[in-house]
């Protein structure tokens, strides 16, 4: 079998549909049938977009992967990077196609050397697979807060702090990005244009919170809230998520407290958050958040590891909002906003 990897096009839709049917019959998830991403589709001038690729043997599809192209600051230098979703391989269902994953990883590394993955809590097999290509992994926990009803009304933003709900990310986000980004060894673009693409104006699936102290912007957060029904873990509780946030490290505690306060006062009995940088996660622990389940993993390609150098992974800034973001598996389960928050 000779596998070639090509950009997904409309002409490959039937082949991907057939691949998905074979995967479903074996109890595995398939790939995106449409070549046009339903989120972050390529557009002129867009600072971040997703691109789909399929593995073909002749006219038959046997797998695929997704790259989300974006800009990042790496050890103080602006670079092109991409996050990886996949690979999806028929090898999961049929051992005759076991090497399809290898071909997909080799192809993505050729197209974009600076690659990263984020999440993979339940995929040790995937972490092991990337490890065969000299990728490195750094773990950080998802943190969860369980509230007590009598205490919810006591949650207030810190003194002197004002929180406003914004309809969109404006130029103020650019100023914050420029000032705060150099504090991190790795951080993907959180300028206004990128944020408007990721969290578009008019999309009510999230609340964009601007956090100011004495009138001066110090950070922002993106939050969501959902009431579950008969969930195996959360039962019928209202669950909030601090989905994304950004600020200089010295303001991390204030921004997180403001986001947590808003969710708690809106009735959240559980709040989830994930911040790779310990300067942020330590603030959550001080606020009563505790690790939940398996760690999330930051996978780094060899080229990315080399560029991080001595700066290392300890000051990497990643949140739920990175990589697949709110369109990933976790986001689809958690991120639905009650409009009365």
- Split at pLDDT 50, 70, 90, the class of 340 is very low
Same-domain status, 173 and 266: yes
Nearest to 207 by CA among 161, 164, 143: 164
Residue 68, in any domain of the structure: yes
> Residue range 42-59: average pLDDT?
95
Phi then psi for residue 240, to 5 deg, are -105, 160
- Split at pLDDT 50, 70, 90, the class of 231 is low
Same-domain status, 105 and 148: no
Residue 121, in any domain of the structure: no
Same-domain status, 74 and 219: no
- CA separation for the pair 226, 284 (Å, rounded): 21
- CA separation for the pair 167, 195 (Å, rounded): 12
Same-domain status, 14 and 86: yes
- CA separation for the pair 108, 88 (Å, rounded): 13
Same-domain status, 161 and 104: no
Q: Is 12 helix (H, G, I), strand (E, B) or coil?
A: helix
Question: What dihedral angle (degrees, nearest 10) is formed by the CA atoms of 243, 307, 312, 275?
Answer: 0
Site of tokens 């959550």: 284
pLDDT at 206: 85
Same-domain status, 224 and 289: yes
Residue 153 or residue 80, greater confidence? 80
Evaluate if residue 12 carries a pLDDT over 90. yes
Question: What is the average pLDDT value for the chain, to the nearest integer?
Answer: 89
Same-domain status, 146 and 284: yes
Evaluate if residue 341 carries a pLDDT over 50. no
Evaluate if residue 19 carries a pLDDT over 90. yes
Evaluate if residue 149 carries a pLDDT over 70. no
- Split at pLDDT 50, 70, 90, the class of 338 is very low
Same-domain status, 190 and 64: no
Question: Domain span at residue 174?
Answer: 142-294+311-334
Residue 92, in any domain of the structure: yes
Tell me the C-alpha to C-alpha distance, in Å, between residue 32 and each of 26, 101, 139, 202, 327.
17, 16, 28, 26, 13
Q: Is 98 helix (H, G, I), strand (E, B) or coil?
A: coil
Any idea what the CATH number is for the domain that residue 148 is in? Answer: 3.40.630.30
Same-domain status, 273 and 200: yes
Any idea what the CATH number is for the domain that residue 32 is in? Answer: 3.40.630
Same-domain status, 79 and 159: no
Evaluate if residue 164 carries a pLDDT over 60. yes
Domain count, the chain: 2
Rg (CA), the chain: 20
> Residue range 56-60: average pLDDT?
95
pLDDT at 9: 98
Nearest to 242 by CA among 267, 265, 270: 270
Residue 118, in any domain of the structure: no
- CA separation for the pair 41, 205 (Å, rounded): 18
Residue 120 or residue 254, greater confidence? 254
- CA separation for the pair 291, 206 (Å, rounded): 24
């Amino acid at each position: 079998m000779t596998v070639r990897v090509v950009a997904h096009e409309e002409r490959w839709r039937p082949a991907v549909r057939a691949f998905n049917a074979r995967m479903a019959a074996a109890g595995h998830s398939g790939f995106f049938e449409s070549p046009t991403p339903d989120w972050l589709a390529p557009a002129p001038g867009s600072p971040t977009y997703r691109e789909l690729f399929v593995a073909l043997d002749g006219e038959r599809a046997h797998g695929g992967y997704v790259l989300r192209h974006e800009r990042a600051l790496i050890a103080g230098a602006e670079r092109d990077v991409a996050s990886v979703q996949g690979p999806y391989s028929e090898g999961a269902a049929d051992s005759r196609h076991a090497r399809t994953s290898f071909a997909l990883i080799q192809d993505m590394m050729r197209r974009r050397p600076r690659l990263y993955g984020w999440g993979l809590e339940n995929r040790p097999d995937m972490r092991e697979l990337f490890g065969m290509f000299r990728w490195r992994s750094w773990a950080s926990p998802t943190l969860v807060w369980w509230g007590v009803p009598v205490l919810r009304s006591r949650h207030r933003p810190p003194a002197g702090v004002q929180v406003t709900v914004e309809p969109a990310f404006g130029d103020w986000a650019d100023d914050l990005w420029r000032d705060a980004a150099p504090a991190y060894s790795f951080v993907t673009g959180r300028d206004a244009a990128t944020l408007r693409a990721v969290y578009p104006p008019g999309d009510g699936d999230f609340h964009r919170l601007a956090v100011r102290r004495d009138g001066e912007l110090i950070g922002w957060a993106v939050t969501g809230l959902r009431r579950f029904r008969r969930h195996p873990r959360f039962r019928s509780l209202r669950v909030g998520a601090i989905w994304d946030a950004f600020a200089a490290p010295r303001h991390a505690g204030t921004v997180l407290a403001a986001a947590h306060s808003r969710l708690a006062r809106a009735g959240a009995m559980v709040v989830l958050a994930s911040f790779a940088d310990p300067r942020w996660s330590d603030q959550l622990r001080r606020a009563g958040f505790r690790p939940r389940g398996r760690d999330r993993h930051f996978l780094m390609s060899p080229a990315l590891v080399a560029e991080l150098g001595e700066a290392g992974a300890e000051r990497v800034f990643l949140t739920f909002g990175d990589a697949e973001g709110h369109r990933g598996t976790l986001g689809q389960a958690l991120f639905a906003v009650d409009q009365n928050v």
